[in-house]
Amino acid sequence: MSGRWRRVVAATLGGLALLVPAAAQAHNVDGKVGVGYEETLLGLGARQFFPIDDGSGNLLSHALPDVRAAGLSGRWYVGAVGLEAVLGFDMRSPSGVPNEYGGFLSVGALWNVARAPSVNLAVGLRAVSALARTNTVGVAGPVRFGFGLELPIRVEYFFSPNFAIAGAVGPTLAINSANGNPLTGNRNSYEFALTRGDFGGGIGFTYYLN
């Protein structure tokens, strides 16, 4: 082997040797409990490709959800699996008319499939339910219930052992009831999106307490 190739091989082995300690320091969240803020994928809204009938003979270019499913989050890891819950609630008390409200609860699990020194990549499953009621011309409308499933692909970046930000994207399935799904604004349908989320949505942060 020539001196040139010896130097190439030595440099390659030296680089691999540097990578081994980095892999050994992959970020471990086993046993950690975290609290923070999270946007679920169904809370981001989705562009409608067809006009929507609002029930009064008017065609709308898009439907407006009643609930933006973003709120307080809690997360607990056992090994590479994290159990999580996200909760949000809003209420408005206008003068002389019934109260308006909207809330949601998301529960699910994440599995860290890949880890680096500061970044974890996870896939997960979430079930999201929502409840809302709004007024029409001062008269209380019906209570609306909605349900959906999410398969988030989530990247979490750690600025320190205790603080991380995250972003997610992934497929969703929403089940829209007769009165309208508060998560989507749509009715009497099943709604599937292959990649819901974007660089400005599906975001969150977590502070790990231990």
Give the residue, 180 or 104, on which the prediction is more confident: 104
Q: Which H or E run contains 19?
A: helix 3-24
Counting beta carbons within 10 angstroms of the beta carbon of residue 102, is it exposed (0 to 12), middle (13 to 18) or buried (19 or more)? buried
Q: Model confidence at 44, in pLDDT bands (50, 70, 90)?
A: low
| Per-domain residue ranges of the chain | 28-208
pLDDT tens for 47-94 read 333 344 445 544 443 444 556 778 899 999 999 999 999 998 888 777
pLDDT tens for 155-203 read 999 999 899 999 888 888 988 888 888 888 778 888 888 776 544 457 8
Instruction: Determine the pLDDT at residue 4.
Output: 53
Q: What is the mean pLDDT of residues 90-117?
A: 85
DSSP state for residue 137 in the 8-state scheme: T
Give the CATH class of 28-208.
mainly beta
CA angle 124, 109, 146 (to 5 degrees): 85
Instruction: Determine the pLDDT at residue 35.
Output: 97
pTM of the model: 0.73
